[in-house]
């Protein structure tokens, strides 16, 4: 079994990273929008199910997951966050935590975007015969 990494796999992985970052930004923004909503509980995005299914496929002898397969495109799971202190109104959103989550997600998106941009510059360079 050969374990080759090709352009398609790299592009698919970068696309998944960007999708995950957008999902995390969306959930953190929603949490921030509800910071003053009584009884609102913080939500987080979980990709554990998708990761587990991909790892199982890889260890069962599959050569990988095709970029368009359902496992590669599995929707993130949004769940309430456990263990955060609640205020008297029942809300447990923490401003600093959500701003940190937004910053991390933005950084992950920017990193993937930079890699994709570099890849497309290489392709353009090749198309123009190095000019």
Say what the pLDDT of residue 8 is.
Answer: 85
- Please give the model's pTM, rounded to 2 decimal places: 0.73
In total, the chain counts a number of residues equal to 131
What contacts 31, CB < 8 A, 6 or more positions away?
A: 40, 42, 43, 93, 98, 101
Confirm whether 50 is domain-assigned: yes
Domain carrying residue 75: 7-127
Confirm whether 14 is domain-assigned: yes
Confirm whether 1 is domain-assigned: no
Per-residue pLDDT of the chain (131 residues; tens, 9 = 90+): 556 678 888 888 899 999 999 999 999 999 999 999 999 999 999 876 555 655 565 555 544 444 444 444 567 789 999 999 999 999 999 999 999 999 999 999 999 999 999 988 888 888 888 66
Query: What are the Cα distances from residue 89, in Å, to 30, 35, 93?
Result: 18, 11, 11
Confirm whether 2 is domain-assigned: no
Number of domains in the chain: 1
């Amino acid at each position: 079994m050969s374990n080759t990494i090709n352009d398609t796999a790299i592009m698919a992985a970068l696309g998944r990273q960007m999708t995950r970052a957008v999902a995390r930004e969306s959930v953190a923004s929603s949490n921030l929008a509800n910071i003053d909503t009584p009884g609102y509980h913080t939500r987080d995005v979980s990709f554990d199910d998708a990761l587990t299914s991909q790892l199982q496929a890889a260890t069962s002898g599959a050569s990988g997951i095709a970029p368009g397969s359902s496992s590669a495109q599995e929707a993130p799971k949004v769940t309430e966050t456990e263990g955060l202190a609640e205020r008297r109104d029942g809300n447990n959103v923490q401003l600093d935590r959500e701003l940190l989550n937004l910053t991390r997600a933005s950084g992950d998106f920017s990193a993937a975007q930079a890699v994709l941009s570099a890849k497309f510059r290489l392709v353009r360079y090749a198309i123009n015969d190095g000019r």
